[in-house]
């Protein structure tokens, strides 16, 4: 029934259904729109309405200055964390918003606006990375886009969220460790190797572009999960120049557009990049991950943290390729 597959980076196992005929219709899910009579991002936009249509500038809005407080429960058993310690280990929550009235999906945004959003993302991440922090304090800046209520979105306004976290999150830490182990074993980067081998074999390949390779990971943790890997080896997304950003945006828009094969599915898009100030030039390789939110997490997954994926990535990639093929003819 399930094929157990191990992720080549993290070493995490997934249980993947591979041995049955997949019904396309069973994966079709519509994103639930965010209800509300008015949009705070439209309301807060200072641009006069008359100019709004032509506007492609991205606004940076700080939602919470001190969104995260790290409390090390092992060391701070009493719960008496001093103010300095708490302040030292706090992080912010920011959002980058498109101009007024832009409630379209990232896939459908005018290319110039989409490029500006990614450029603003890079620039904001650079600024956040430059903010002062104690020497030994880790800092990870997580960029996320959530589309549809099922994905936890709070606004239908085109946006990208940024979380500055005083901790390297578990998932990223596992990827960093996995990347380093792979280099020790093979003297090469696991993401560079994956991009090459997935393109060569082609069975899980969705897009092979000039600067990016998009594929469904062999041990996908969720149905129709996609990995967007730049061909050029680089650990840190914020080192991209404007040319790279334009190429990254085009690939991202095409990739998200491919999900229309599933209707208009809710998804989480996230960036995995090197933590602030960490020199991982050899061992890490930045990438995007797209996780469509097609179903709820069930008991076995909660109980074991073993991902259960009802769609073989080979099937998922085939369906998305077919959809992209239709669009371009």
Q: Which stretch binds Zn ion (CB under 5 A): 31-39, 70-78, 211-219, 321-329?
A: 31-39
Q: If DSSP codes are grouped into helix, strand and coil, which group holds residue 133?
A: coil
Q: Which stretch binds Zn ion (CB under 5 A): 52-60, 127-135, 231-239, 312-320?
A: 231-239
Q: Minimum distance between the CB of residue 318 and Zn ion, rounded to whole angstroms?
A: 23
Query: Does residue number 39 form part of the binding site for Zn ion (CB under 5 A)?
Result: yes
Query: Does residue number 233 form part of the binding site for Zn ion (CB under 5 A)?
Result: yes
Nearest-Å Rg of the Cα atoms of the chain is 20
Closer residue to Zn ion (CB): 33 or 134: 33
Query: Does residue number 122 form part of the binding site for Zn ion (CB under 5 A)?
Result: no
DSSP structure string for 54-120:
T--PPEEEEEEEEEEE---TTT-TT----HHHHHHTEEEEEEEE-STT--S-GGGS-HHHHHHHHHH
Q: Minimum distance between the CB of residue 39 and Zn ion, rounded to whole angstroms?
A: 3
Contact call for residues 160 and 145 (beta carbons, < 8 A): yes
Q: Count the neighbouring beta carbons within 10 Å of the beta carbon of residue 277.
A: 11
Residue 249: closest CA among 160, 139, 150 = 160
How is residue 26 written in tokens? 């069973």
Q: If DSSP codes are grouped into helix, strand and coil, which group holds residue 144?
A: strand
Largest CA distance in the chain: 65
Number of residues that bind Zn ion (CB under 5 A): 11
Closer residue to Zn ion (CB): 108 or 131: 108
Which of 41, 139, 204, 254 touches Zn ion by CB under 5 A?
41
Q: Minimum distance between the CB of residue 233 and Zn ion, rounded to whole angstroms?
A: 4
181-210 binders of Zn ion (CB under 5 A): 189, 191-192
Which of 5, 157, 204, 321 touches Zn ion by CB under 5 A?
157
Q: Minimum distance between the CB of residue 13 and Zn ion, rounded to whole angstroms?
A: 16
Q: Which stretch binds Zn ion (CB under 5 A): 153-161, 208-216, 247-255, 311-319?
A: 153-161
How many whole angstroms from its chain centre is CA 183?
A: 24
Q: Could you say which DSSP state residue 150 is in?
A: G
Q: Minimum distance between the CB of residue 164 and Zn ion, rounded to whole angstroms?
A: 18
275-314 binders of Zn ion (CB under 5 A): 285, 289
Query: Does residue number 105 form part of the binding site for Zn ion (CB under 5 A)?
Result: no
Contact call for residues 293 and 265 (beta carbons, < 8 A): yes
How is residue 252 written in tokens? 């991202």
Query: Does residue number 235 form part of the binding site for Zn ion (CB under 5 A)?
Result: no
Residues of this chain that bind Zn ion (CB under 5 A): 39, 41-42, 157, 189, 191-192, 233, 272, 285, 289
């Amino acid at each position: 029934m399930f094929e157990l597959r191990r992720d080549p980076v993290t070493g995490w196992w997934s249980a993947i259904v591979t041995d049955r005929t997949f019904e396309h219709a069973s994966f079709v899910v519509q994103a639930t729109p965010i209800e509300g009579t008015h949009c705070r991002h439209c309301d807060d936009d200072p641009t006069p309405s008359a100019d709004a249509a032509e506007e492609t500038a991205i606004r940076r809005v700080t939602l919470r200055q001190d969104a995260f407080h790290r409390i090390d429960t092992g060391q701070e058993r009493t719960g008496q964390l001093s103010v300095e310690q708490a302040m030292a280990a706090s992080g912010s929550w920011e959002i980058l918003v498109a101009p007024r009235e832009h409630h379209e999906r990232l896939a459908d945004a005018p290319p110039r606006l989409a490029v500006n959003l990614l450029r603003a993302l890079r620039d904001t991440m650079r600024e956040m990375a430059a903010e002062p922090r104690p020497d030994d304090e880790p800092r990870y800046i997580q960029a996320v886009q959530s589309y549809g209520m099922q994905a936890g979105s709070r606004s239908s306004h085109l946006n990208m969220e940024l979380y500055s976290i005083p901790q390297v999150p578990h998932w990223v830490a596992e990827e960093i460790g996995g990347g380093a182990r792979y280099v020790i074993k093979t003297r090469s980067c696991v993401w560079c190797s994956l991009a090459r081998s997935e393109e060569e074999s082609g069975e899980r390949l969705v897009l092979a572009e000039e600067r990016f390779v998009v594929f469904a990971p062999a041990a996908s943790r969720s149905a129709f999960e996609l990995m967007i890997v730049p061909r050029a080896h680089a650990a840190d997304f914020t080192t991209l120049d404007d040319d790279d950003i334009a190429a990254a945006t085009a690939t991202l828009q095409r990739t998200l557009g491919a999900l229309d094969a599933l209707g208009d599915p809710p998804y989480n898009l996230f960036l995995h990049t090197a933590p602030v100030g960490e020199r991982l030039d050899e061992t890490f390789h930045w990438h995007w991950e797209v996780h469509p939110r097609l179903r709820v997490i069930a008991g076995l997954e909660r109980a074991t943290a073993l991902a259960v994926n009802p769609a073989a990535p080979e099937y998922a990639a085939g369906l998305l390729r077919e959809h992209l093929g239709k669009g371009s003819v």
